[in-house]
Amino acid sequence: TRSIPGMLSSPAPSVSFEFFPPKDDASEALLWDAIRRLESARPDFVSVTYGAGGSNQDRTVRVTERIARETTLTPLAHLTCVGASVGALRQVVGLYAASGVRNILALRGDPPGDPGGEWVSHPEGLNHATDLVALVKSLGDFTIGVAAFPDVHPASPSFEHDVEIMVRKADAGASFAITQMVFDAESYLRLRDAVAARRPELPITPGLMPVTNFKQVARMSQLMGTPLPTAVVSRLEAVADDPAATREVGVQIATELATRMLGEGAPGLHFITMNRSTATLEVHRNLGLD
């Protein structure tokens, strides 16, 4: 199989799908339904986020291992430093290695509770994503990805600081980056170009969320510090009471954004699926990626 950076440097855009760890068995069954439907789109890789709470992390590991074992998909495991000693992080990486997961998205994560809140150190843990990149790299032959923030990380003093952090992530051993969900193509392109000027070998793939629920995305955008452009808000607000129309507009917006970013040379698209398949598959089809 090709490596993720290899996929990202190929002329065809890479396509990947992100899932979150289900909170119970019923949601896990729905997730598997979505995974099976999305498998038919033959994505380059799929990822499972690492939850802030303890039990969800077990599900992250379990779902990721099962993807590796039982599907044709290439998994990318998210991993965060939150509340973990270096020993515990080594253990999770070891579990992944044992089940054939070779790709890890190394993140700092956010302390439980308030995503914009002060970072809380673990006495025997790590404090920056760059430290986790270095740790994972020291533990085996992993392909390591990192997070990028086109709208500037909420705790970062400036855009320039964020660019510097991306340079450090690349130098620590990251070979690709995925962004926070993008609603403004210009912000993505600005970060992509600024990082490319210093580390052209680090492909940065935009995160794309086809909106199906306006309240949900408004809440997420606030939590993540990703502002929604006024044009996006007014298009979604106009149909907020109509779920079918919201999905249609959400798919249109994602298709337009993706078309613009791919037209400007984005290496691929990382779809934030919210564990559903229909809207993502519609955007995928609209873009002619089938």
- C-alpha dist (Å) from residue 223 to 120, 220, 264: 18, 5, 28
Judged by beta carbon, residue 52 or residue 262, the one nearer ligand FAD is 52
Judged by beta carbon, residue 144 or residue 249, the one nearer ligand FAD is 144
Judged by beta carbon, residue 68 or residue 163, the one nearer ligand FAD is 163
CB of 144 to ligand FAD, least distance (A): 11
Q: Is 237 a catalytic residue?
A: no
Rounded to whole angstroms, how far apart are CA atoms 221 and 154?
11
CB of 46 to ligand FAD, least distance (A): 13
234 exposure class (CB count in 10 Å sphere: 0-12, 13-18, 19+): exposed
CB of 237 to ligand FAD, least distance (A): 26
Q: Are 275 and 34 in contact (CB under 8 A)?
A: yes
Q: Which of 43, 41, 42, 103 is nearest to 76 (CA)?
A: 103
* Total residue length of the chain: 290
In the DSSP assignment, the letter for residue 52 is: S
Q: Biggest alpha carbon distance in the chain? A: 51
CB of 156 to ligand FAD, least distance (A): 4
Judged by beta carbon, residue 83 or residue 229, the one nearer ligand FAD is 83
In the DSSP assignment, the letter for residue 229 is: P
Q: Long-range contacts made by residues 34-40, C-beta under 8 angstroms, separation at least 24? A: 34/273, 34/275, 34/276, 34/277, 35/67, 35/71, 35/73, 37/277, 37/281, 38/273, 38/277, 38/280, 38/281, 39/71, 39/72, 39/73
CB of 238 to ligand FAD, least distance (A): 29
Task: List contacts with ligand FAD (CB under 6 A).
Answer: 49-50, 52, 78, 80, 107-110, 128-130, 147, 153, 155-156, 161-162, 165, 178-180, 207
Q: Dihedral of CA 36/28/218/15: which sign? A: negative
Judged by beta carbon, residue 139 or residue 240, the one nearer ligand FAD is 139
Please list the active-site residues.
Answer: 18
